[in-house]
């Protein structure tokens, strides 16, 4: 009896989204060299990335952060929201790994709050990037060491004091406004409204809108009824 050969590794379908053609081409070439990674598409801005993600249904989206038309955070939010066509079934959501040169606290928090599975920097070694894509496809969180440190520090140092904008958003929630309505009222995007709310929830130690308003009133952050 001959020994059976090991089963081949499952292929990971990857969509590359980056507005710099040279960077995008380099990433595609690097990933294509890996036998278990298949680049199914590439996009030069966030809006095109959303369209292709919904159309091609990749396992992992490698997402630049700062792009024209729609940035990486906005694209991540829309990709993970699924298709918008009435009656269309939502496909399995891809994992989004942000790949950027930026590692500020604001950038990191916005990406993670939008639902990104990973956050890596463009100076990440090739083997680490490839391993990160494979890990993301398995549902694991992938963070560059410096990013992980910044994220933990930011969360620990957030404290309980709401920023003026967070208080403003929460006050509109107390008035019964939806996220889109709050965005229109304050002239900000719905994704930005969600970001402010998530940060307020973390600071207040709650996980829903109703409880956030209740705790804010109890602590004197918002006026009582």
Residue 152, pLDDT score: 60
**Sign of the CA dihedral 81, 98, 183, 174?**
positive
Residue 26, pLDDT score: 95
Residue 155, pLDDT score: 57
Q: Are 203 and 165 in contact (CB under 8 A)?
A: no
pTM above 0.75, yes or no: no
Residue showing tokens 């630049």 = 64
Q: Do the bridges between strand 37-43 and strand 60-63 make them parallel or antiparallel, or are there none, so unpaired?
A: unpaired
SS3 2: coil
Residue 156, pLDDT score: 54
Q: How far apart are CA 50 and CA 64, in angstroms?
A: 12
Residue-wise pLDDT tens digits, 152-205: 666 555 556 788 889 899 999 999 999 999 999 998 888 889 889 998 898 888
Q: Are 162 and 221 in contact (CB under 8 A)?
A: yes
Spans in the chain with pLDDT lower than 70: 1-9, 83-92, 105, 151-160, 224-225
Residue 1, pLDDT score: 45
Which residues are within 8 A (CB) of 183 and not within 5 positions of it... i.e. 6 or more apart? 189, 190, 192, 193
Q: How far apart are CA 204 and CA 213, in angstroms?
A: 10
Residue 216, pLDDT score: 86
Nearest Cα to 221, choosing from 178, 177, 138, 159? 159
Residue 91, pLDDT score: 52
Residue showing tokens 């958003």 = 169
């Amino acid at each position: 009896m001959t020994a059976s050969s090991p089963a081949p590794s499952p292929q990971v379908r990857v969509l590359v989204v980056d507005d710099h053609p040279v960077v995008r081409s380099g990433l595609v070439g690097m990933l294509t060299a890996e036998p278990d990674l298949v680049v199914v598409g590439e996009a030069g801005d966030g809006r095109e990335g959303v369209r292709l993600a919904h159309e091609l249904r990749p396992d992992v989206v490698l997402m630049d952060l700062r792009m024209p038309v729609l940035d990486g955070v906005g694209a991540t939010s829309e990709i993970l929201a699924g298709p918008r066509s009435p009656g269309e079934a939502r496909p399995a959501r891809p994992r989004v790994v942000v790949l950027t040169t930026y590692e500020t606290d604001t950038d990191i928090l916005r990406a993670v709050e939008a639902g990104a599975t990973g956050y890596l920097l463009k100076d990440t070694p090739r083997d680490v990037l490839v391993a990160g894509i494979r890990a993301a496809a398995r549902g694991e969180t992938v963070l560059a060491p410096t990013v992980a440190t910044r994220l933990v520090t930011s969360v620990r140092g957030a404290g309980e004091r709401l920023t003026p904008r967070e208080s403003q958003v929460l006050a509109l929630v107390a008035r019964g406004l939806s996220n889109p309505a709050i965005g229109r009222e304050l002239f900000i995007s719905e994704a930005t409204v969600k970001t402010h709310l998530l940060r307020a929830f973390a600071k207040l130690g709650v996980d829903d809108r109703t409880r956030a308003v209740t705790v804010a009133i109890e602590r004197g952050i918002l006026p009582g009824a």
